[in-house]
Amino acid sequence: MEPEPQERLQAAFDATIARHDRIEPRDWMPEAYRRTLVRQIAQHAHSEIIGMQPEGNWISRAPSLRRKAILLAKVQDEAGHGLYLYSACETLGVSRAELTDLLLTGRQKYSSIFNYPTLSYADVGTIGWLVDGAAICNQVPLCRTSYGPYGRAMIRICKEESFHQRQGYELLMTMMRGTDAQRAMVQESVDRFWWPSLMMFGPPDERSPNSGQSMAWGIKRNSNDELRQRFVDMSVPQAEALGVTLPDPELRWNEERGHYDFGEPDWEEFAAVISGNGPCNAQRLAHRRAAHEDGAWVREAASAFAARSTEEEVR
Ligand code: FAQ
């Protein structure tokens, strides 16, 4: 007997995933796959846009013209990443206006890391080194994600994140070659950002409700704990080269595992931050809302211009 059309569609989808091939926007996909992608890509896009705020805070106070130019370029890149990701998400049948509304009304999340304050200029370097470093670890495997538009957006994003990571490390290296006060500033910044950076990878695998299905669908290629371990292994020698101490007394090389052992992040703090009660959640969303309202006239003008251009074309 011929299979039902629905079964045939599902079988074609499963075969594409099994071949590690790409699902494209016009292909049939299960509704739950589409919803998971919208959740993850939108959360990622919102993170890029909200992620402009902590570093943007230092543009007007950068210590030199060179540092200001670098920081401006980096923050501008984050805006670009947000736009590629919103566009990838729109191919799944949601509009950017809907996604923005979901963010502003607190119905979609953004990365926990951007709810921490930037208290000194060293934070610009630490964010580049650790936050962009964690982002790269998490995002390189996403270049092979099963949804075509997301994977292709990730390739360009990763190239740019890699420049961001280097500029952060170079900034910290410069400060570490400076005065005692500068070295202390770097250490204090690393002390604040280390644990929140580990939390960026999400909850431990046994408490990650989405990982199993997302890995079966090839949306995620590695588990949260695998990537967290990769990040720790990568960061320890970098910290040694820099001359800073990572604030974890349990951090040590495990010969048997061939990896560094490390302590447990404070998962209660993580839960508080992702449910809206981190140090800067209210401030970040209020700022984003105000920017959205301030930009209303630009959106209206662009829509009026587009409508007039279409009318002229029709005539
Ligand atoms: N923050 O079941 P799982 C950047 C949520 S990089 C907030 O493990 P999943 C670059 C999760 O959504 C930062 N929420 O979830 C930059 C889920 O929520 P639900 C952005 C988190 O999706 C650098 C619940 O917890 N990168 O922006 C976090 O399988 C410097 C249960 O978790 C990405 O978004 C968190 N850290 O795995 C910009 C990468 N972790 O279901 C500016 C793409 C988990 O309640 C300056 N995303 N949750 O709605 C991913 O790889 C995945 O979504 C994970 C989470 C790994 C983040």
65-94 b/e (C-beta count within 10 Å ≥ 16 → b): eebeebbeebbebbeebbebbbebbbbbeb
Q: Is 145 helix (H, G, I), strand (E, B) or coil?
A: coil
What average pLDDT score do residues 286-310 get?
Answer: 95
C-alpha separations of 115 from 53, 135, 234 in Å? 10, 16, 24
11-56 per-position pLDDT tens digit: 999 999 999 999 999 999 999 999 999 999 999 999 999 999 999 9
Strand runs labelled E in the chain: 252-254, 259-261
pLDDT of residue 139: 96
Please tell me the distance between residue 200's alpha carbon and the centre of ligand 1 in angstroms: 7
Task: Share the mean pLDDT of the chain.
Answer: 96
Task: List the one residue out of 165, 305, 295, 189 whose CA is nearest residue 247.
Answer: 189
**DSSP per-residue codes, 155-215:** HHHHHHHHHHHHHHHHHHHHHHTS-HHHHHHHHHHHHHHHHHHHHTT-S-GGG-TTHHHHH
Cβ of 123 less than 6 Å from ligand 1: no
Q: How far, in Å, CA of 21 to CA of 14, rounded? A: 10
Residues 6+ apart with CB under 8 A from 193: 116, 123, 126, 127, 130, 131
Q: Is 227 helix (H, G, I), strand (E, B) or coil?
A: helix
pLDDT of residue 100: 97
65-116 per-position pLDDT tens digit: 999 999 999 999 999 999 999 999 999 999 999 999 999 999 999 999 999 9
Structural domain that includes position 129: 5-314
pLDDT of residue 161: 94
For residue 314, what pLDDT band results from cuts at 50, 70 and 90? confident
Give the number of the atom of ligand 1 that is nearest the alpha carbon of residue 139.
Answer: 39
Cβ of 197 less than 6 Å from ligand 1: no
Q: How far, in Å, CA of 134 to CA of 127, rounded? A: 10
At 147, list the tokens. Answer: 């949804």
Q: How far, in Å, CA of 81 to CA of 22, rounded? A: 21
Q: What is the CA radius of gyration of the chain?
A: 21
pLDDT of residue 137: 97
Asked if pLDDT for residue 1 goes beyond 70, the answer is: no
Tally the domains of the chain: 1
pLDDT of residue 51: 98
Cβ of 281 less than 6 Å from ligand 1: no
110-133 per-position pLDDT tens digit: 999 999 999 999 999 999 999 999
Asked if pLDDT for residue 312 goes beyond 90, the answer is: no
Cβ of 39 less than 6 Å from ligand 1: yes
Cβ of 36 less than 6 Å from ligand 1: no
246-280 per-position pLDDT tens digit: 999 999 999 999 999 999 999 999 999 999 999 99
At 95, list the tokens. Answer: 């509009």
At 175, list the tokens. Answer: 């400060």
Burial class (CB in 10 A: 0-12, 13-18, 19+), 104: middle
Give the number of the atom of ligand 1 that is nearest the alpha carbon of residue 52.
Answer: 42
pLDDT of residue 262: 98
Burial class (CB in 10 A: 0-12, 13-18, 19+), 247: middle
Q: How far, in Å, CA of 150 to CA of 221, rounded? A: 13
pLDDT of residue 224: 98
Q: Are 231 and 133 in contact (CB under 8 A)?
A: yes
Give the number of the atom of ligand 1 that is nearest the alpha carbon of residue 110.
Answer: 7
Cβ of 214 less than 6 Å from ligand 1: yes
Q: CATH number for the domain including 201?
A: 1.20.1260.10
148-185 per-position pLDDT tens digit: 999 999 999 999 999 999 999 999 999 999 999 999 99
**pTM > 0.85:** yes
